[in-house]
Chain A
Amino acid sequence: MTGAVAVAGGEAVPGAALELRAEGVCKSYGATVALEHADIALQAGEVHALLGENGAGKSTLVRILTGAVTPDAGRMYLHGAAYTPHSITDARAVEVATAFQELSLVPNLSVAQNLLLPRLASSRSGLISRADVLAKGREILLRHDLERIDPAAEVARLPLSDRQRIEIARAAENAGRVLILDEPSASLAETDWLFAQVENAKARGVAILYISHRLAEVRAICSVATVLRNGRSIATVDLDDASDGDIFEMMVGHRVDPARPAARSTSGPREARVAVTDIAGSELNGVSFDLNAGEVLGVAALEGQGQRELFRCLAGVQKPEAGEIRIDGRPASYRSPRQALRFGSGVSYLPEERKTEGILAGLSAATNVVLPFLPRISRAGMVGQGREVSAAQDAANAVEMNPRYLTFPIGELSGGNQQKALMARTLASGAKTLLLFDPTRGVDVGTKESIYAAISAFADEGGSVLFYSSELPEIVQLADRCLVLYGGRVFESFSGEDINEQRLVAAMIGHHDATGQEATR
């Protein structure tokens, strides 16, 4: 099969619907092999999923297909003709477009300008007409059901979810033949709009590559999946014929038991370690709750309901405009994460954005882990790598991170391992209260399990955990109690067996569960 198509060139190809095919592509950066050997074939009018753990090579394959990276070896064909893009522009010229995971919008330009980049000027005068740009932008937004977004708005001022939508709309607009969507739902609360866009593109006969960690999503929209593991494409399967277990097995190399442990029982009165009373800010309108020792408290919410601000206030990153936070019964007077770490029994924060708020890319993973408590492990203010690694070892073990990675610059590790290192830092800080904002965001199945285990173990030893998650099953599995934020308030709270996905979803969109007490508010 490989040879036949390759030789055929532009001739009538067996399976004329074949759009984009990559054979044996590989890429290494210095000594690091990012992609060892990948084969993939996309068909027109089909949604093809790309699955794999973090570090399996998905991002590299995407970059190769899209022209951002040139492969070291391997061949690619588009509609039977050789396809060797040297830049994004090359790929776009043959109507292959990508919505990137990290988003590729330029923050200081308007929505319309971003949609039209890099060609805004009219071909006749070479000059840009503002009205023309706005009109074209509005037209594109309209075509993708985004007419509510102002084409003149500066991208930096839009919420993350709208930026993601614009990124997808722009890619769909430019994708005449192949559309690549890299984690398109990462910042979207609901997928209706996204799926409609995908269906639209599908109807136009575009071949779509869909990359996501959320298997339920993949099952809903994709028909075929290619699984990558350790830089190699393991198999391409029809999704109707493969069970979740089959897919997990292909991703991690062995079967994962889907049965999850039941939530731990919570009983007996416990002292409130963190007491929050009526805190308010730009997104918060009076939130109160207690967090006890030995308790895991989940926070569920659609995006932008104030959860980010709540965590940042508790962590000392910003100050609430009103209300009070008490730690161990004392009013929290800290004004920085550093002071929060040292206040009372300590508050440690795992931030939302791994890349911009979490890791320090050039420093070793060990330094990243021990940074909050360097003075504790130093001798006369001095510290060396050996000391850092041995201090980070225990924490790394707790999240099942291979200690081998501790000496690597953290920026060179996969996203999953970066997240493990940050989790290890939070655990090792010695604080008794952990604030975890989406601790498993964008990490693979194996990493998730180790993070869950670490959180449970921490609570069993008397620690308190407040965590927000965008994935409800996670809350159902881990939380002893759960707050649902809506419009900057605690809309409803659940505990124990009452925590189930249906109820959470209902509360998240502002509906009181029929069986729940109507009197809550």
Chain B
Amino acid sequence: MSEVLPNEASTSPAPVMGSLLRQLTQGAGLIVILYVALYAIYGYLQPRALEPYAIAALMNNTAPLALAAAGQTFVVLSRGFDLSLAGVISICNVTLAVVPIEGPGGAALSVLLCLAIGASVGAVNGFLVAYLRLQSIAATLATMIICQGIALVILNAPGGFVAEWIVYEMTDRLWGLVPVSGLVVLSVVALWLMLRRTDFGVAIYAVGADEQAASLSGVNVRRVRFGAFVGAGLLYGLAGFMLSAQTATGNPNSGTPLLLLTFAAVALGGTSLAGGRGGLFASVIGAATLTLLQKVLFSTGVSSFYTGIFQGAVLILAVVFSTAISRIGEEK
């Protein structure tokens, strides 16, 4: 609820505790607390973790997954799944590695290129799902395979170099303090908060919760669905750009490892996979938590063989915990 109506709790005369609980359960509250707690553990284990360069390094690691998860959130909110991100990110990555354009102008051009790639794949997905009525998971499975093929055609083996300006500037810190990658993610979150206060933003939630009712209420369901896929595509493009800045090289399969992790991030953020509930900010923090968890496990000295066991367990526990709490919240 708080994701739909940001100030719901504060204006309703409900008891403060109840509204706090709802704020906590239905917004990003829970995942933010989890993230902060995890960061405290990380800081305790690795005292240098709080220094600017370490924070920036963590941000750089987080940004691609966070942006991809943000894109996935668009589609999940409108009740759908998008597998195409694996392909889109790969295409963006190999494109930047094969056609490096130097300088700030080149970087701008590269971003636009990535956004254009993402938007066009998103438009194809949107057309297939919204207008031709294919099941989203099936349609995006097909576009994902095609996109992976295209990435392989552009670059058939890992290699190439991403423009140096992008590699250095996008992973740098402003005034030695603020990580650029963090700013990029932050501006996406800010844009989302704006978008949520538009008719389109409300319509995404409406379509996700009950497509039929939304349509009978006068919402143009097809256009909203289409828009959600294009929005998701744009963010995948940006994720591909940030990933290239971080890896500095091209890999036709670079997007694949992110695919299932975006779903984990979205779920960790408390967004309902059944659509209509949740938000983009929570997914971003969910992605950040997943990345941080790896670092924490590494610094606790757990054999890298077994980190997956912890990741899986955390994923299950987080989902169980957040549903349990939101159930208590519902009863209030």
Contact = CB atoms under 8 A, between A and B. Distances in A.
Is A in direct contact with B (CB under 8 Å) within the complex? yes
B326 to A, nearest CB: 13
A103 B203 CA distance: 17
A170 B218 CA distance: 12
B220 A118 contact: yes
A152 B5 contact: yes
Contacts of A88: 215-218
A127 B197 CA distance: 5
A254 interface: no
A114 interface: yes
Interface stretch (B114-122, B164-172, B205-213, B291-299): B205-213
Given A88-B216, A88-B218, A117-B219, A108 B198 contact: no
Contacts of A108: 1, 4, 205-206, 208-210, 276-277
A59 to B, nearest CB: 13
Interface in B272-304: 276-277
Interface string B120-136: 00000000000000000
B12 A127 contact: no
Nearest to B7: A130
B51 interface: no
- Interface footprint category on A: 20 to 34
Contacts of A102: 212
Interface string B188-225: 00000010011101110110111011111111100000
Interface string A442-475: 0000000000000000000000000000000000
Nearest to A153: B12
A290 B219 CA distance: 51
B212 to A, nearest CB: 7
Contacts of A152: 5, 8, 11-12
Contacts of A100: 216
Contacts of A113: 4-5, 202
A117 B202 CA distance: 9
Interface string A126-152: 111010000000000000000000101
Contacts of B6: 130
B218 A92 contact: yes
A121 B194 CA distance: 12
B205 A119 contact: no
Contacts of B215: 68, 88, 104
A368 interface: no
Contact of A128 (B197, B210, B219): B197
A106 B213 contact: yes
Contacts of A87: 220
Contacts of A92: 218
A429 B24 CA distance: 47
Given A107-B213, A110-B5, A128-B198, A117 B206 contact: yes
Nearest to B194: A127
B2 to A, nearest CB: 11
A110 B9 CA distance: 13
A218 B39 CA distance: 67
A104 B218 CA distance: 10
B196 to A, nearest CB: 9
A404 B105 CA distance: 72
A110 B217 CA distance: 13
Given A121-B198, A130-B5, 12 more contacts: A104-B216, A108-B209, A109-B202, A110-B8, A113-B202, A119-B199, A120-B202, A121-B199, A126-B199, A127-B197, A127-B198, A128-B197
7 contacts: A68-B215, A104-B215, A106-B213, A106-B214, A108-B4, A108-B277, A128-B199
Q: Which 7 A-B pairs have the closest CB atoms?
A: A104-B216, A108-B209, A117-B217, A106-B206, A118-B218, A118-B219, A128-B197
